[in-house]
Structure formats: C-alpha cells, structure tokens
Amino acid sequence: MTKGRILVVDDEDIVRTSCSRALVPEGYEVTPAKNGLEGLKLISENKFDLVLTDLKMPDMDGIEVLRRIKEGWPEIEVIIITGYQTVDTAVKSIKLGAFDYIEKPFTPDALITAVSKALNRRRAV
C-alpha cells in the first residue's frame, strides 16, 4: 500500500529523478511531469495527494501551477521547490496555499520530512 501519490513537476530530469529515488523507497508512488501543463493534465486524469513543483520553469512557473491546483483541486497539498528562493516568492506561495517551500539543492531527508508533514496535514483535514 502506498503512503501517498506524489506528482513531481520540474523541467530538470535530475530533480525529478532525485525526488523519485528519495520517495519511492519510503513507500510513495511518484509520477514525473516535465512542465506545468503536463502536470495539470496529469492531475485532471489522476488522483494525487501532493504536488512538488519547481518555481522557475519555461511556459508556466510554479506559482501559476500552484494557483491552478488550488483553484481546481484545493485538497491537494503543494510544496514549491526552487533554486531561486526569495522572501517575496516564499510569502506569495504560502499565501496562495503552498504547504512549504524547499530550497534546492535539498537533501533526501529534508524532502522526505516535508512530504511526510504535508501528507499528515492532508490526512488530518
């Protein structure tokens, strides 16, 4: 039995792979998406508990992905991951409903902890 279904939206292969390598052995089901549009299409076709989305991506950034998820699927928790952390962006993402904001590069333990906390909050609602 899976601990949760997670969608990883990031334009970098290495980030999607790193997330899968950290989370799959912990019992999570991980689905990759290369960009925001692909991620939103997957959300419309599948059930996810959590989305990890990069902030800076071509075509659609992580803030827009977050906004659309919260409009259409408010029960899905969202964690923003980025290498371009600013206070303004962090505040904006939290105000829009992101559960957390993780700075790249992140450790597997930091990722697992953030995911676990987000899914625990989702289950408590």
- With a cut of 80, say whether residue 1 has pLDDT above it: no
Beta bridge partners of 52: 8, 79
The pLDDT value recorded for residue 125 is: 64
The string of DSSP codes covering 51-89 is EEEESS-SSS-HHHHHHHHHHH-TTSEEEEEESS--HHH
| Percent over 90 (pLDDT), the chain | 82
Higher model confidence: residue 85 or residue 31?
A: 31
- With a cut of 90, say whether residue 61 has pLDDT above it: yes
Q: Give the HSE-up count for residue 121: Cα atoms under 13 Å, Cβ half-sphere.
A: 15
The pLDDT value recorded for residue 84 is: 76
Query: What would the mean pLDDT of 23-51 be, rounded to a whole number?
Result: 98
Domains contained in the chain, CATH given: 4-124 (3.40.50.2300)
- With a cut of 90, say whether residue 123 has pLDDT above it: no
Residue 110: both structure tokens together: 């930091």
Query: What would the mean pLDDT of 55-77 be, rounded to a whole number?
Result: 96
Inter-CA distances, 52 with 6, 14, 123, Å: 7, 14, 17
Q: Give the residue from 117, 118, 80 showing the smallest Cα distance to 102.
A: 80
Tens digits of residue pLDDT in 101-120: 998 899 999 999 999 999 99
Tens digits of residue pLDDT in 71-96: 999 999 999 998 876 778 888 899 99
pLDDT interval class at 98 (50, 70, 90): very high
Q: Report helix, strand or coil for 90.
A: helix
